[in-house]
Each structure stands twice: as C-alpha cells, then as structure tokens.
C-alpha cells in the first residue's frame, strides 16, 4: 500500500474502499470482504445510512482499530455547531470507535462554518485525527481555509479521467489540502468502461480499464476509494501497485480531461435548490 501524508502529519492510504450506495444490510459483509482483500481505509458518511455496518465489520474483522483508517462525513441536516457536535457523537457510536481518522463536511451548504467549529473541537479532543471537506469548489475552499484555525486536510471531490480537477488541484496545493476522489470510475458515464484509450493501455499492462484509471489517479497523488459489492472486483481494484504508467501514457490519459462534471455542479442554482429542499 502507498500512503499520502496529510497536512498534520497523519498517514492515509492512497487506496481505500467506499461504501456509497451500499445497502445498509449488505454493508457489513462488503466491508468484511474488503478488509479480507487488504483494504485498510473505509469511506462512509452519515447520509449513506451504513455507518453501523462499517462499525460492525471492523469489530468482527479482528483487525486492530489502529490499522484501519475510517472516513465519515457530516450531512447538511446536521450542519451548525450544536447539531454537528451531536452527530459526531452519534457517528462514533455507530462506528463503534472513540475516534474517526478523517471527518469531513459532506456538502458546502447550510451553516458549514458552525460545523467546522464542531469538527475543530473534535480534533482537539482526539475524536478526529484529521478534518476536512467534501465537494468544496476552489472559491469556497479558499474562503473556508482563510477563516478556520485548522486548515482542511482533505477535499473529496468528483475526480476521474474525464474530470481531473486540474484547477482545483492547484488551489488545494496552495492550501496544503489533499485531494480525494469520489466517482473514480465516473459511475460508468461517458462510456468509461469501453474507452478505447484506456482499453489500449490496459492491454499493454494486462490490466482492466478500471485498474488503468485508478493507477492514473494514484500516480497523480490522488486518494481513491473505488466501490464494488463483488469481492472479485475489490481484488481487481486493489491490484494496482505492481505496474507503472509511462510518462507518455499519463500524458495521453490527461488529455481525456474535459474539465467539467459528469454529474452536476454545486454552483448550479437548480442543484443548490435541490439540496435546500432537503432542509425544508
């Protein structure tokens, strides 16, 4: 396993297992499978409704808690200092742990300044080893980083071969914030799994399109958390450390970047209204 060092010195695996859209009942088994494969970083969130499954799996795995890196995120309905503080305690209880390795604000909406104050407090109390954000575009990241006491260690954003976040990564370097990818396979959009360039490079290395895409992100220093409920896919996604893409291959994949989201923009009024409707 390769690691990245966060801005406070914490070591984080560059490859982890994500449980977004993993059914609450299936989550425990999936995480146990992932841990048996070798994953030691698990990414969940309050909004996923499966923190209990993650906690149960880690407890049953027999793997020392100190060997596992847990990420969870505070949802917008829990925004604000008081609600966020309460939700952190609830997440700790569901995850069956007394600390979270990485605690993130899930969305850049509602009172995220109050949420961040609660996270800073949790950090100082040892309940969170690192804190950061998710889905924060450069403007909001710069603004938040300017006013908080503990700079965001991580920003988890949509990142894949078609949206490489080149501008955002430049900003994150200035704030010393580690980029973390969600949707490393673009959820199959834009004919991801049949992309001719990725297939061609995959044949050279005897690797799948998914493995080539993950390797590209990893070689760019991007933390990835691919999700699959199938153990054989978990094994495949984990098998990306025994080859290296050439400079020419990296450059050709870099050219796939469109600089645009394949999902939605957090700066689109319709997107913001949709998130606000959750609070109504």
Catalytic positions, written as ranges: 48
Q: Closest Cα partner for 125 from 149, 96, 154, 100?
A: 100
3-state secondary structure of 194: helix
For residue 193, give both structure tokens. Answer: 């799994």
State the Cα–Cα distance between residues 106 and 135, nearest whole angstrom: 7
Shortest CA distance to 107 belongs to which of 157, 171, 168?
Answer: 157
106 annotated as ligand-binding: yes
Cα distances (angstroms) measured from residue 248 to each of 95, 158, 230, 254? 43, 24, 32, 10
How far is CA 113 from its chain centroid? 21
Distance CA 156, CA 158 (A): 7
Which pairing describes strands 3-5 and 11-13: parallel, antiparallel, or unpaired?
A: antiparallel
Q: How far apart are CA 237 and CA 53, in angstroms?
A: 21
Which one-letter DSSP state was computed for residue 162? T
Distance CA 57, CA 95 (A): 9
| Bridge partner list, 15 | 224
Tokens 């710069």: give the residue. Answer: 142
Q: Which two tokens stand for residue 160?
A: 């894949």
Nearest to 11 by CA among 151, 154, 119: 154
**Which residues belong to the annotated binding site for substrate?**
106
């Amino acid at each position: 396993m390769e690691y990245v060092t966060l801005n406070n010195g914490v070591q984080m695996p560059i490859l982890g297992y994500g449980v977004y859209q993993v059914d609450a009942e299936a989550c425990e088994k999936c995480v146990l499978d992932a841990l048996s494969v070798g994953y030691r970083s698990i990414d969940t969130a309050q909004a996923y409704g499966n923190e209990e499954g993650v906690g149960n799996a880690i407890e049953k795995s027999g793997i020392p808690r100190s060997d596992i890196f847990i990420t969870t995120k505070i949802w917008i309905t829990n925004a604000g200092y008081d609600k966020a503080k309460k939700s952190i305690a609830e997440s700790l209880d569901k995850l069956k742990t007394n600390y979270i390795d990485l605690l993130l604000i899930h969305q850049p909406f509602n009172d995220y300044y109050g949420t961040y104050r609660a996270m800073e407090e949790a950090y100082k109390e040892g309940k969170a080893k690192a804190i950061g954000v998710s889905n924060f575009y450069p403007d909001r990241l710069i603004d938040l980083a300017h006013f908080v006491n503990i700079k965001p260690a991580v920003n988890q954003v949509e990142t894949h071969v078609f949206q490489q976040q080149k501008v955002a990564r430049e900003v994150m370097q200035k704030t010393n914030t580690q980029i973390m990818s969600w949707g490393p396979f673009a959820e199959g959009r834009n004919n991801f799994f049949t992309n001719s360039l990725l297939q061609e490079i995959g044949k050279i290395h005897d690797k799948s399109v998914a493995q080539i895409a993950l390797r590209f992100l990893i070689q760019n220093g991007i933390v990835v958390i691919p999700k699959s409920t199938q153990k054989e896919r978990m094994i495949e996604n984990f098998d990306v450390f025994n080859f290296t893409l050439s400079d020419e291959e990296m450059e050709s994949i870099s050219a796939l970047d469109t600089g645009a989201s394949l999902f939605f923009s957090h700066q689109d009024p319709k997107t913001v209204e949709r998130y606000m409707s959750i609070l109504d």
